[in-house]
Structure 1
Amino acid sequence: MIDPFKPGKDELLFLPLGGSGEIGMNLNLYGHNGKWLMLDLGISFGDDSMPGIDVVMPDPTFISERAADLVGIVLTHAHEDHIGAVPYLWNRFRCPLYATPFTASVLRRKLAEVGLEQEAKITIIPMSGSREIGPFTVELITLTHSIPEPNAVVIRTAHGAVLHTGDWKLDPEPLVGETTDVAALRRLGDGGVLAMICDSTNVFVSGTSGSEADVRASLMDVVGRLKNRVAIGCFASNLARVETIARVAAAHDRHCALIGRSLWRMLESAQENGYLTDLPKFVTEHDVGYFPRENILMICTGSQGEPRSALTRIARGEHPVQLEAGDAAIFSSRVIPGNELSINRLHNDLAKRGVEVITDRDEDVHVSGHPARDELAEMYQMVRPRIALPVHGEARHIQEHVAFARECQVPEALAPENGMLIRLAPGPAEIVARVPAGRLALDGKVLVSADSEAIRHRHRLSFNGVIMGSVVVDKSGKLLAPPQVSFEGLMDAAAAGDAIATIQAAIAEALVELPKSKRSDDAEVAEAARLAARRWYHKTYDKKPVTKIHVIRV
């Protein structure tokens, strides 16, 4: 069978399956000469619309059906939204993985957790290195971000060079890792760039994103003013921030503790690659209580209010480490869109304990890892692409970035969406097709469609409650006992008695009125009972609970 989407030798295609129209879940494909190359394979996190779901990722069905033509996955850096789905989805491709040394260290630990460390081999590309991967030549350009070894990827084919930026900023003092290789970007621009696929996260932010060195100076001042135990919430992957906090602690005669497994795993990966090797030894959570409160500073996971994270459990009093009145919690991280409610809950839980909450609205305790408008403008001036394709943003970010690219004199700019197949060459950039693109949710240990009936039903249950009932009828459909009814999530047991009795009567009446021709059909009996119960509850309480009736025929 001929594949209508097989890339031709005379064309270069771009296809996002995740990360275009959302922040997170990055999955981008490039197609040329019959083959596909994937850049990044990341996750996002569930929200209140998906009860019981912690992890969400792109649905890779399009490319898993073409796994024989997938020549490899290149990972731009080690953030979860760029590598987090690899352990869950790699078995669908079983293709080579390519990463720099630090990213490879982080990924190996993730693969080991699912037993794939021996099967999923990672090929190391050194910083500023290059590699031939199928019909693509891949080159790395060092950038700065909030994690070591972030890279832009240059993809070269016969149609020219494409720059895929990944996540980046222009930080003159990143503190951990190298500064942006501006010379390489300018050389690339001088040689001509067909297209730039670029981070859109902070396109609405004027000026620059700020330097990690500024955060260090500010935290040094803020922690110096605090008298009791201090907890600082930050992303485990922000190793420059971890180093900053460790040095701030030492400067103020505090021991620094790591609270959260992901922090320890990230520290191990960093030290394997020569980062953070000259810091004082970190304290474990089990030893925190042995130090005076004024002599301890804790780095905690959970700045986004994740339910099972260290900081959330501390705020609820469910963790061996405690914060109490007079202590302080500093949030040295940004609010990821969609996490506002969980973060506010966390702040309030801490405040109820008398803990002082300090955020970037109060002090300069965080800078973004993504480019603001001045940095975007500088990148466009250096690279000078013919085509701009903004990604890594919600729809409004991408639309604004398209307008901004045009202001920067980019001749062509398109707004990608997940599933939008875009031909970059030959000719003007154009949308040539749309392919299926969705999301998968990790439901316990099983991957399911994020819009599956089960998850939609679970969402309805969480909002509407449940009426459960059973009826016992004979072969002719005559009730042999009063209907049994119970509620879940509708009203307290003490108040439910009268409502249940009324619903029992409504069900009995509905079955008496059911035509004889339908009484022998269990489905008809169940539906008549279900409608009677649900209609009464809706009429009386203006709610539409999920209603389930079980028919027992004897």
Structure 2
Amino acid sequence: MSSERLIYLPLGGAGEIGMNTYVYGYGRPGKERLIVVDLGVAFPDMDSSPGVDLILPDITWLKERRDRIEAIFITHAHEDHVGAVAHTYQDLEAPIFARTFTANIARRKMGEHGHPEDAVQTVGPWPHQQGAGPFQVGFLPISHSIPESSAMVIDTPQGRVIHSGDFKIDLTPGVGEPFDPALWEDVCKDGVKALVCDSTNVFSTHPGRSEASVGPEIEKLVSSASGMVVATTFASNVARVKTLAEAGERAGRSIVLLGRAMKRMVEASAETGVMTDFPGTIPPEEARNIPRENLMLLVTGSQGERRAASAQLARGKYQGIEMKEGDLFLFSSKTIPGNERGVIRIINQFSEMGVDVVDDSSGLYHVSGHANRPDLETLHDIVKPQVLIPMHGEHRHLREHVKVADAKGMKGVLAVNGMMIDLSGNKPKVAEWVETGRTYLDGSVQVGALDGVVRDRIRMALNGHVTVTVIVDEEDEPLGDPWVDMMGLPEIGTSNAPLMDVLEEDLSQWLGRANAKTLRDDDAMHNGLKKVVRQSAQNEIGKKPEVTVVVSRLS
């Protein structure tokens, strides 16, 4: 029996939507040569990660083995697959391979962070293969909601593995390559050891719809509008952006792109040649001089992001343009679970302006970029893998996908983040567990999930904060009374007295009773004063705030 093994290890994206990071390795246990497929991000929300800019995968395991990483391969240019490339480069410094469009986006990110753009190398589609240690890796075109999406064909000494990436089966995607069943059948004809497969839409039992099906419906909607039309979608879905722009152009409207991501994706599409004949656009400053009924804006912010163009228009003006009664706003996108609150807020703000909002509840103006269950089963039937490993989904998606595989007579393996699977031989098994988690990009620094920064921020948001200041003289005696500063707390408690006065009185009484030993001990002072504040606040407002105690000693 060979002493070498083939391993699969998800570090992000298996048990959650977003932050996709997958590792494959081959070699002796603990000595494997490694490749990484995707380095993505997830997006924060005010409930679980207030103030955070981005959420990155915890790559500690990879950093400790950076000398064994042969290469990083990026399946496509969505943020949850490419967004962490620049943030992690200084820790990994491995060569990055991607197809032309994805490489363009990745290089822009690298340049913004001061990293060498030539670390990102462009590779052609299948049948080209890139060597990476014991692996030969090819980019197999597959349709999705962004150009040049690819599955990874990973040839190993133990057999062929296919990593699907995000995909749908679309024969008429508009922009990007259509799904090619004959090509896939040829790639899989000699046998596939494992298919690591997208699971996002496993619960959707109806066949997926083509991107081509939304164009006529959008055109009818835009043509019937009497005021200005504003539409938002994922900026990366350049096929949809083009469909929207063409609908506006045919309706005799001038097209305006608003939002950095929207402009960047259209530019990248043109630079790399994946999209041609995009309708002409005008800058926002020219739009102010054009009648509203002759304007169509394509804007960022389909998920309710507070700083995106959609949210800013909903709050008033954006680059001198504002919405008015009788205008139309179209969400040509699906709201990702967790983003509903932000989207609904925007819809209500527009409603108060008299703007008519159309979302995708009718199913007419958006199609998913992910395979529904019938399309997943079609791919299963083409690939015919020995083993199916679901990825890109919450635990419920992965578990359901295993059930689908088992029902078709395939061996399904449920592997979540941190579960290393040994794919050697004919019986995959759990090899070991790896500690995984998330890293927060907080401003310009990265903090670990266990560092307590976000936890403390949440506790302050929930409970408010009190700062207690005490001055102690050279004789270790209090110099005057303690005073407090409050944030996020009501001014009046149940006693109808100012909360600040109550806290300061209780603190003064505690300080007056404190013995000489306590007054000399900073830790005892901190603990005692903190306990008084929390207990007094609990009595007055039913809440125990976070407390910071400052003891200043005169020397």
- 1:424-468 per-residue CA deviation (whole Å, 9 max, x = no partner) reads 112411111011111111110111113321111011111111111
Equivalent residue number for residue 148 of structure 2: 149
Equivalent residue number for residue 166 of structure 1: 165
**Displacement of 1:526:** 2.1
Tell me how far apart the structure 2 counterparts of residues 128 and 298 of structure 1 sit (CA, whole Å).
Answer: 40
Matched, 1:510 2:513: no
Q: For the Cα contact (< 8 Å) 1:466–1:487, is it kept in 2? A: yes
Q: For the Cα contact (< 8 Å) 2:325–2:354, is it kept in 1? A: yes
Q: Which letter does structure 1 place at the counterpart of 2:358?
A: I
Per the normalisation by structure 2, the TM-score is 0.95
Matched residue SS, 1:45: coil
Superposed, 1:307-456 pairs within 5 Å as 307-320=306-319, 321-362=321-362, 364-410=364-410, 412-456=411-455
Tell me how far apart the structure 1 counterparts of residues 18 and 206 of structure 2 sit (CA, whole Å).
Answer: 24
Q: For the Cα contact (< 8 Å) 2:491–2:498, is it kept in 1? A: no
Tell me how far apart the structure 1 counterparts of residues 349 and 34 of structure 2 sit (CA, whole Å).
Answer: 48
Tell me how far apart the structure 2 counterparts of residues 42 and 20 of structure 1 sit (CA, whole Å).
Answer: 12
Q: For the Cα contact (< 8 Å) 2:152–2:163, is it kept in 1? A: yes
Per the normalisation by structure 1, the TM-score is 0.95
Task: State the identity as a percent.
Answer: 37
Query: Which of 14, 24, 28 lines up with 1:20 in the alignment?
Result: 14
**Displacement of 1:516:** 3.1
**Displacement of 1:553:** 2.4
Q: For the Cα contact (< 8 Å) 1:96–1:123, is it kept in 2? A: no
**Displacement of 1:118:** 4.1
Tell me how far apart the structure 1 counterparts of residues 514 and 426 of structure 2 sit (CA, whole Å).
Answer: 68
Q: For the Cα contact (< 8 Å) 1:56–1:450, is it kept in 2? A: no
Matched residue SS, 2:171: coil
Superposed, 1:169-184 pairs within 5 Å as 169-184=168-183
Q: For the Cα contact (< 8 Å) 1:256–1:299, is it kept in 2? A: yes
Which segments of 5 or more consecutive residues in structure 2 lack a partner in the other structure?
none
Q: Which letter does structure 2 place at the counterpart of 1:361?
A: S
Tell me how far apart the structure 2 counterparts of residues 26 and 287 of structure 1 sit (CA, whole Å).
Answer: 41
CA separation of 1:254 and 1:494: change in aligned 2, threshold 3 A: farther
Matched residue SS, 1:25: coil
Equivalent residue number for residue 124 of structure 2: 125
**Displacement of 1:119:** 5.3
Equivalent residue number for residue 106 of structure 2: 107
Matched, 1:188 2:182: no
Tell me how far apart the structure 1 counterparts of residues 37 and 201 of structure 2 sit (CA, whole Å).
Answer: 21
- 1:123-158 per-residue CA deviation (whole Å, 9 max, x = no partner) reads 423355322221101122211000000111111112
Q: Which letter does structure 2 place at the counterpart of 1:421?
A: M
Matched, 1:474 2:473: yes
**Displacement of 1:260:** 0.6
Q: Which letter does structure 2 place at the counterpart of 1:146?
A: S
Matched, 1:97 2:106: no
Tell me how far apart the structure 1 counterparts of residues 110 and 454 of structure 2 sit (CA, whole Å).
Answer: 27
Equivalent residue number for residue 549 of structure 1: 549
Q: Which letter does structure 1 place at the counterpart of 2:480?
A: A
Which segments of 5 or more consecutive residues in structure 1 lack a partner in the other structure?
1-7
Q: For the Cα contact (< 8 Å) 1:208–1:374, is it kept in 2? A: yes
Tell me how far apart the structure 1 counterparts of residues 3 and 100 of structure 2 sit (CA, whole Å).
Answer: 33
Equivalent residue number for residue 246 of structure 2: 247
My pick for the range that moved more, 245-254 or 278-287, is 278-287
Q: For the Cα contact (< 8 Å) 1:13–1:32, is it kept in 2? A: yes
Matched residue SS, 1:311: helix
**Displacement of 1:406:** 1.0
Tell me how far apart the structure 2 counterparts of residues 127 and 279 of structure 1 sit (CA, whole Å).
Answer: 27
Tell me how far apart the structure 1 counterparts of residues 415 and 480 of structure 2 sit (CA, whole Å).
Answer: 61
Question: Would you identify which runs of 4 or more consecutive aligned residues in structure 1 move more than 6 Å?
Answer: 493-497
Tell me how far apart the structure 1 counterparts of residues 530 and 84 of structure 2 sit (CA, whole Å).
Answer: 41
Q: Which letter does structure 1 place at the counterpart of 2:511?
A: L
Tell me how far apart the structure 1 counterparts of residues 122 and 95 of structure 2 sit (CA, whole Å).
Answer: 7
Q: Which letter does structure 1 place at the counterpart of 2:389?
A: L
- 1:211-267 per-residue CA deviation (whole Å, 9 max, x = no partner) reads 111111110111122111111111111010011011101111111111111111111
Tell me how far apart the structure 2 counterparts of residues 249 and 228 of structure 1 sit (CA, whole Å).
Answer: 12
Tell me how far apart the structure 2 counterparts of residues 126 and 273 of structure 1 sit (CA, whole Å).
Answer: 14
Q: Alignment length, in residue pairs? A: 546
CA separation of 1:104 and 1:118: change in aligned 2, threshold 3 A: closer
Matched residue SS, 2:24: strand
**Displacement of 1:17:** 0.4
Equivalent residue number for residue 44 of structure 1: 42
CA separation of 1:80 and 1:551: change in aligned 2, threshold 3 A: same
**Displacement of 1:366:** 0.4
Q: Which letter does structure 1 place at the counterpart of 2:18?
A: G
CA separation of 1:87 and 1:387: change in aligned 2, threshold 3 A: same
Q: Which letter does structure 2 place at the counterpart of 1:47?
A: D
Equivalent residue number for residue 214 of structure 1: 213
Equivalent residue number for residue 279 of structure 1: 278
- 1:390-426 per-residue CA deviation (whole Å, 9 max, x = no partner) reads 010011111111111111221x211111111110112
